[in-house]
Structure 1
Amino acid sequence: MTTNHHRADPGTPLLLGTRKSKLAVAQASWAARRITAATGRSVNLVLLSSEGDESDAPIERFGSTGVFVTALRKALLAGKVDFVVHSFKDLPTAPEAGLRLAAVPVREDPRDALAASAGPPASLGALPPGARVGTGSPRRAAQIRARAPYVTVVPLRGNVDSRLARTETGELDAVVLAMAGLSRLGRLNAVAAPLEPGIVMPAPSQGALALECRADDAPTAAALRAVDDAPSRLAVTAERAFLAGLDAGCTSPVGALAVPDGEGGALRLDGLVAVPDGSSVLRRSANGPAATPAEAAALGRRLARTLLADGGADVLAAQPQATGGADPRSRPVHPSQPIGHG
């Protein structure tokens, strides 16, 4: 591992590695501004490519989780950058040797939304029979098929602009996008219908960012901690512990959302697993103390056990297997193991 000790000097800009997509750059720029405002430390962006960005194949065909993060982590471990920013939902639940999750900034709106360039439908129920809805997410597709079996779900990859462009031509009636991404790109005007979690449950840790640095880089970790938001970190810890407890990858139709539940740091955690065709969708909820990461993780594991016992194991067993060999480092951790990166 290469460590750039000279950048421990507070007068030297931190190097932030990010994917090249417009959304990734917007997220990284947002994080950089917050770090500079909180610490006075300047941050320079370093643009990197990932396998996920270079392919138009459906995400579930890659055969492993972490497809968007591997290149960033390699650059970080090689000392080419000081830290990286990920969409937290893209991170495998298994820890990566030599790295640490240094900060989870305040979370954006975790919901999904129906979007279209020329005025999307007011709700999922307002879509006419035969309407074509685009999404590249098995989780979104399964829930849309379950709620609106009369619409056609069309597989979709690409950036936000290219997805919205397919609604301009009439090829699609709407696309499903994350509210967080639309907000960070200044495109919320394209959204008419946020999808409430009772309709489409978000992905675990959707709307949150993960700032990762080398485990031995204490000065950078200290700078990043200045933008850590404890409520956001605890919520995503519960959600990702639920995902890990299911032993499901980030492309499985799994949803989770943790929200405050009364006083004292308690959380209500809602979780979901589905069959990709929408023929079976199972939801369960749990609530409990989550004032510490250990408590939040315990809540997530408890809900996973409940859902598995109530039929979730059969639902997950019905998942089609991705092609290709999975990287063992990207396997979710067993429920009894520490969650590590969240």
Structure 2
Amino acid sequence: MSGTVTRAAGPVERREGVLRVGTRGSALAVAQTTAVAEAIARATGVDVELVTVTTHGDTSRESLSELGGTGVFATALRDALRVDEVDIIVHSLKDLPTAKAPGLVIGAVPKRADARDTLCARDGLTLDALPDGARVGTGSPRRVAQLKSLRPDLDIVDIRGNVDTRLGRVAEGDLDAVVLAAAGLGRLGRLDAVTDYFPLSQVPTAPGQGALALEVREGDEKGRGPIARALSTVDHVTTHACITAEREVLAGLEAGCAAPIAASALVDDGLLFLTASVYRPDGSERLTASHAATPDSLAAHHLDEAARDVGARVVSELLGAGAADLAPLGSTR
């Protein structure tokens, strides 16, 4: 028997038999949280209520680096969780700081969506077909470095705003193209805007891109309670291991939001592969390290241990090759 999913405008008091799931208020955040809530309701039969929480990152028009990092999207959600206004919060993993939040844990990571970046350009243009000097919008230092490496002639424009705002600047002729994550476009039903998909082998993406994290109060992820049961229904073991490895790179490099870093992990045929790159901000140089781990089985605890080990080995190689001198790594996020 499936439960129901409803929406709430503000803090919701605890009600027996209802799980309160916190989300940012953007269209993308609501779409991805709704998908998670519906999966939980279907699998458990529990009623789920979505609670919208406004974050500073949602209301500010400053660039991400000026705001102080990806944590600006997580703080308000975590505060609501700590004061028991919600039971579970849903993050985009690339928006989540790597430093552990006191009293909170990542209880589940659903199966990752398409991790690739895409180009959304006027007239159906691909990256190779953009004219010299074309104006391409992105707010990501990693994407800036990658674009400059591939097409140094492009005019890269720093942008903020939601998906519709960014696509609107292309439609209005202010920009020739924008770079957006395939996962976000897919969750919003906007893949029709994509004119070019970037292969991960050529344009690796941010650690955790395409994945979501469900965070809960420490202890709620254990046992047989409704929160623990909800988490177990949506957790995807191999995705969880992959993002653990990718985020280990960020943590090990003590990388802040201004650091142009990419990391991609996958589990294939019993092997956990991780590749990470650090770019010079102008795209003129790139350091890459790749390692593999061989978990004894696909059991979660073996994969988690393997993920942390392979992440540490990639970090060691990157630092030994001079990653700290190549790019401003900033503080741990």
- TM-score normalised to the size of structure 1? 0.87
Deviation, structure 1 residue 185: 0.2
2:64 is the counterpart of 1:59: yes
- Residues 165-219 of structure 1, C-alpha deviations (whole Å, 9 max, x = no match): 0001111111000000000000111112111123321000100000011113352
Q: Is it true that 1:109 corresponds to 2:117 in the alignment?
A: no
**Residue of structure 1 aligned with 2:238, choices 217, 222, 231:** 231
* Preserved CA contact (<8 Å) 1:92 1:250: no
Q: 1:339 maps to which residue?
A: none
Please name the residue that 1:338 is paired with: none
Q: In the superposition, relative to structure 1, how do residues 15 and 36 fare at CA in structure 2: closer, same or farther (>3 Å)?
A: same
Residues 143 and 281, structure 1, Cα contact 8 Å, conserved in 2: no
* C-alpha contact (below 8 Å) 1:139/1:253 kept by paired residues: yes
Which of 215, 219, 224 is the aligned partner of 1:216?
219
Alpha-carbon displacement from aligned partner over 1:121-158 (angstroms, at most 9, x marks no partner) = 22x22211010100011111111011100111000100
CA-CA distance at 1:6 after TM superposition: 5.7
Distance 2:257 2:200 in 1: 18
Q: What 5-or-longer segments of structure 1 have no aligned partner?
A: 333-342
CA contact (8 A) 2:18 2:47 kept: yes
The equivalent of 1:129 in structure 2 is 132
Q: Please name the residue that 1:305 is paired with.
A: 316
The partner residue of 2:82 within 69, 77, 80 is 77
Determine if contact 2:205/2:264 at 8 Å carries over to the other structure: yes
Count of residues in Structure 1 that have an aligned counterpart in Structure 2? 312
User: Which whole-Å CA distance do the structure 2 matches of 1:120 and 1:13 have between them?
Assistant: 46
Other-structure match for 2:187 = 184
Contact 1:234 / 1:296 at 8 angstroms: preserved in 2?
yes
Q: Corresponding residue for 1:314?
A: 325
1:26-45 mapped onto 2 (5 Å cutoff): 26-45=31-50
Decide whether the 8 Å contact of 1:182 with 1:188 is kept in 2: yes
SS of corresponding position for 1:126: coil
> Which has the higher relative contact order, 1 or 2, with Cα contacts under 8 A spaced 6 or more apart?
1
- 1:15 and 2:26 are equivalent in the alignment: no
| Percent identity (aligned) | 48
Matches within 5 A, 1:215-294: 215-217=218-220, 218=222, 219=225, 220-261=227-268, 263-264=269-270, 266-290=271-295, 291=298, 292-294=303-305
Displacement of 1:279: 2.3
Residue 170 of structure 2 contacts residue 178 of structure 2 at CA under 8 Å; is this kept in 1? Answer: yes
Q: Post-superposition shift, 1:251?
A: 3.8
Output the CA distance in 2 between the equivalents of 1:171 and 1:49.
29
Segment drifting more, 284-293 vs 87-96 = 284-293
Q: Is the counterpart of residue 148 in structure 1 residue 148 in structure 2?
A: no
Q: CA deviation at 1:62?
A: 1.9
Deviations 1:243-272 (A, max 9, x none): 1111112442110001234x22x1221101
Calculate the aligned-residue CA RMSD, in Å: 1.8
Asked if structure 1 preserves the Cα contact closer than 8 Å seen for 2:44 and 2:229, the reply is no
Letter aligned with residue 195 of structure 1: F
On the 8 A contact 1:146/1:281 being kept in 2, the answer is no
1:138 aligns with 2:141: yes
Determine if contact 1:145/1:277 at 8 Å carries over to the other structure: yes
SS of aligned partner of 1:270: strand
Asked whether the 8 Å contact 1:239–1:269 carries over to 2, the reply is: yes
Q: Is the 8 A contact 1:130 1:152 kept in 2?
A: yes
Q: Note the residue ranges of structure 2 that are not aligned, 5 or more in a row.
A: 1-11
